[in-house]
Amino acid sequence: MRKTTTSARLLFTVAILTMGATTAAAQTTANYPSRVVRIVLPYVPGGSGTVIARTFADKFSKDLGQNFIVDNRPGGNTIIGTEAAAHAAPDGYTLLATTAALIVNQWTQPSLSYDALRDLTGVSTLIWGDHMFAVNPSVPANNLRELIAYLKKNPGKVNSYTSGLGTNNHLENLLFMQLTDTKYTVVPYKGGGAAISDLLSGNLQMALNTPSLFAPYIKAGKLRGIATSGEKRNAIIPDVPTFAELGLKEFVAGTWYTLLAPAATPKDIVQKLNELTARAQASADVQAVLAKQGISPYPNSVGATNAMLRSEMETWGKVIRANDFKAAEE
């Protein structure tokens, strides 16, 4: 009898403690956020990344009545800021907004103090920006089929550009070559301005970047658009078809920003942030700001966001393993 009574008391105590913990967690979620939330952006201030992060931070602040601030932490090809977020307290008050550099660094930097998939959890994808191939009019190709044929006839003789070896843009060029069995030279540039000048002059024959960068020159007849990487045609340049339309659906490339949190952040808080992001993405004012940048909202569930990150890790890991290079340094 005593043994039974003791067990019953233990079960009763555990039940009370569990109820208390559940109630405390619910109260924490209901009151979240009760102070300033920091969104770490591992890039220098200015540029599209800052616009994106601040647009969402401002909308979050208005929605919840609590300040969300953008904390620029550049350095180490995004490693410094990512490390700070990955090792932060998992309480929902430190978040990370970042790009595919998160994936690239995991494959190319052997001494990271964090694991992108283990130490961080996706909250939601924020935006998606298409990439597109454009060529100088001197290239005798009016469409993707003709471009691939031309590249195969002239292996290594055509120049494209990248913003740096080991960057997402570089990986996309390598993926395109693998998928089409072509070979061309990818030239690293420190700035997009010099690359565009060389593309317009013919020193570069082709390039892969955002439609908003190329659209004015395509409309003026100074460049020729070949294909865009989105699921549907880009509104900025709707006459240019997608790679999927043209039979190259495996070529999925573009700019994405994802909102993440430390992995142990309570699931209810992560879900609340996901719903907050979805409301922001659906708002007309956020959509207007993003449209000016040539990008679109990219809503996702928590599960789908983490699945996307795992898929990106696998896709770019295959490309990285097949090529000998290191991630670009800032």
* Secondary structure string (H, E, C) spanning 152-211: HHCCCCCEEEECCCCCHHHHHHHHHHHHHCCCCEEEECCCHHHHHHHHHHCCCCEEEECH
CA triplet 69, 72, 78: central angle to 5 degrees?
135
How many domains does the chain contain in total? 2
Report the residue count for the chain: 330
Residue 96 falls inside a structural domain:
yes
Q: How far apart are the first and last CA of the chain?
A: 71
The residue with greater pLDDT, 1 or 262, is 262
Residue 25 falls inside a structural domain:
no
Tell me how far CA of residue 48 lies from CA of 43, 183, 200, 213, in angstroms: 10, 31, 23, 12
Q: Which of 228, 244, 277 is the last residue of a domain?
A: 228
Pairing status of strand 296-297 against strand 120-130: antiparallel
Does 107 lie in the same domain as 38? yes
pLDDT in tens, 133-163: 999 999 999 999 999 999 999 999 999 998 7
pTM of the entire predicted model: 0.82
Residue 4 falls inside a structural domain:
no
Q: Which of 212, 228, 244 is the last residue of a domain?
A: 228
Does 268 lie in the same domain as 296? yes
Average pLDDT over residues 246-253: 91
Query: What CATH number does the domain containing 84 carry?
Result: 3.40.190.150
CA–CA dist 4, 51 (Å, integer) = 64
Residue 241 falls inside a structural domain:
no
Does 208 lie in the same domain as 143? yes
Q: In terms of residue numbers, what domain contains 268?
A: 34-128+257-321
Does 159 lie in the same domain as 108? no
1 confidence band (pLDDT: 50, 70, 90): very low
pLDDT in tens, 2-22: 334 555 555 555 555 566 545
pLDDT at 330 over 60: no
Residue 216 falls inside a structural domain:
yes
Query: What CATH number does the domain containing 224 carry?
Result: 3.40.190.10
pLDDT in tens, 183-240: 999 998 876 778 899 999 999 999 998 898 899 999 999 999 999 998 889 988 999 9
Question: Which secondary structure element, helix H or strand E, spans residue 148, and what is its range?
Answer: helix 144-153
DSSP 325: -
pLDDT value of residue 4: 45
Residue (of 102, 105, 117, 134) closest to 255 by Cα position: 102
Residue 202 falls inside a structural domain:
yes
Q: Which of 228, 243, 265 is the last residue of a domain?
A: 228
Residue 237 falls inside a structural domain:
no
CA triplet 106, 179, 137: central angle to 5 degrees?
110
Residue 236 falls inside a structural domain:
no
- The answer to whether the peptide bond before residue 297 is cis (omega within 30 degrees of 0) is no
pLDDT value of residue 24: 44
Does 143 lie in the same domain as 73? no
